[in-house]
Amino acid sequence: MNEANMRLLQPLEGEPWEIEPYCQRGGYDVWARCVKGMSLDDIVAELTRAGLRGRGGAGFPTGLKWDKVRNHRVTERYFVCNAGEHEPGTFKDRYLITHFPHQLIEGMLIAALTVQAKASYIYLNAEFEEARASFQKALQQARDKGYLGKNILETGLDLDIEIFDGHGSYVAGEETAMLESMQGRPAMPKQKPPFYPTEFGLHNKPTLVNNVETLSHVPHILRNGVEWFTQVGTERCPGTMLFSLSGAVNRPGVYELPLGTPLRHLIEDCGGGVVDGRAIKAVFPGGPSFSMVGPDQLDLAMDFDTLKKAGTGLGSAGVIVVDDATCMVAKTLALSTFFKEESCGQCPPCRIGTDKLEELVNKIESGEGTTQDLDMMMQICGFVKGTGFCTLVTGASVLVQNSLRLFRDEFEAHIVQHRCPLASSVSHVESKQETQKCRG
């Protein structure tokens, strides 16, 4: 890892929640300028010029989103930082909150003030106890220094951040579902259009929702400038991104790299290659909802546009490496089980589709499947893909379609041999645990 590229993961002295080491690096300077009258329109313009794109999965332009909420005709507005993070293979947000809480707090304060939020929250999974403890202590230190709370830096400004306990479901990380659950309703996504949070968010008012990593970039961009931020990355995807690397690699963990870095560099140089010197069978470059790539595609650049063009996606950069000793049917089953369990059940194609897909993959894995089952799986995928108020069922069908397209011979071997040919290698339970573990 090139130290010059470390922006969000730059080591600081002392405990992560201690405010002084962060302040010594210029931390909270931008916030102090904002409070003392820096033009908030300039902030939006700088983020737009920097080309910062959301790190929560969709890569949406951050400046554009802030502008929409800031200039909304409705003046009662809200701000929420999304720290849901329940997708298998993604663990960079809790790592950031635990180890670098102050840059996030500064980014959140700037966001809240820019959109003139009436109230500001962080939606944090209750199960991330370490992250929560670190964040709470950091918040208190910032409060003690006068950076948040009442009469901030004696300017008369009041602004605070409240922690909202998330209940740890995958769908609750989808922004409209998250806002529903924050209002005491079931965490179910809403139909878009028209229910975009920038229009109809908390209490049906315009709401800015941003990911932890997106917000952590904000103070650095405003402090160091657009030219500094765009020195690395690609033209359309500037800056660095945090990659959560897991699966069959020697050094799983969170790595900060310029967007556009080849997948091979992450796996071989950062991750130390595949365990036990084995070969790569497939890689999920953007978590289980996006298509896998093969070992012949390791030179693909990891950015939103290149991976989309290659028929897959970057998502929130949860990179999962699968080695050649893994049964792809078992792997597909583990992830299909995840999708089935995490479907909120609201949309019938998702509720029924994820259930049926898991049942069929399970049938194949246990040696009881037929070739008709393979046809039926493909048919179901065709029916349910693109339906639903969120992308869960699309992810579930892309997984099965893609696995069948790349590894049909393995599915057929299960049918012919009436058992899993690799039954002793990876149980699907182990595989599921592996992808959900935080390896920060």
Ligand X SMILES: Cc1cc2nc3c(=O)[nH]c(=O)nc-3n(C[C@H](O)[C@H](O)[C@H](O)COP(=O)(O)O)c2cc1C
Contact footprint for ligand X (CB under 6 A): 54-58, 60, 82, 84-86, 170-171, 173-175, 209-211, 214, 390-392
Which C-beta is closer to ligand X: that of 290 or that of 407? 290
Which C-beta is closer to ligand X: that of 35 or that of 245? 245
**90 backbone dihedrals φ, ψ, rounded to 5°:** -120, 125
In the complex, what is the shortest distance from the CB of residue 338 to ligand X, in angstroms, rounded to a whole number? 11
In the complex, what is the shortest distance from the CB of residue 23 to ligand X, in angstroms, rounded to a whole number? 25
Which C-beta is closer to ligand X: that of 68 or that of 264? 68
* DSSP string across 296-332: GGTT-EESHHHHHHTTS--TT-EEEEEETTS-HHHHH
Please report, as a single letter, which amino acid is at residue 170.
Y
Which C-beta is closer to ligand X: that of 62 or that of 297? 62
In the complex, what is the shortest distance from the CB of residue 275 to ligand X, in angstroms, rounded to a whole number? 28
In the complex, what is the shortest distance from the CB of residue 204 to ligand X, in angstroms, rounded to a whole number? 18
In 3D space, the residue among 265, 178, 217, 166 whose CA is nearest the CA of residue 50 turns out to be 217
In the complex, what is the shortest distance from the CB of residue 439 to ligand X, in angstroms, rounded to a whole number? 17
Which C-beta is closer to ligand X: that of 171 or that of 381? 171
In 3D space, the residue among 430, 394, 386, 251 whose CA is nearest the CA of residue 315 turns out to be 394
Cβ-contact 161, 121 below 8 angstroms: yes
Which C-beta is closer to ligand X: that of 22 or that of 389? 389
Cβ-contact 254, 244 below 8 angstroms: yes
CA pair distance 104, 127, nearest whole angstrom: 19
Which C-beta is closer to ligand X: that of 82 or that of 291? 82
CA pair distance 414, 173, nearest whole angstrom: 35
CA pair distance 80, 168, nearest whole angstrom: 16
Which C-beta is closer to ligand X: that of 209 or that of 374? 209
Which C-beta is closer to ligand X: that of 139 or that of 392? 392
In the complex, what is the shortest distance from the CB of residue 166 to ligand X, in angstroms, rounded to a whole number? 9
β-bridge pairing 261-262 and 280-284: unpaired
Residues linked to residue 287 through DSSP beta bridges, in sequence order? 285
Q: How far is CA 144 from the centre of its chain?
A: 31
In the complex, what is the shortest distance from the CB of residue 3 to ligand X, in angstroms, rounded to a whole number? 26
In the complex, what is the shortest distance from the CB of residue 34 to ligand X, in angstroms, rounded to a whole number? 19
Which C-beta is closer to ligand X: that of 85 or that of 434? 85
Residue 306 exposure: Cα atoms within 13 Å on the Cβ side: 19
In the complex, what is the shortest distance from the CB of residue 24 to ligand X, in angstroms, rounded to a whole number? 28
In the complex, what is the shortest distance from the CB of residue 282 to ligand X, in angstroms, rounded to a whole number? 22
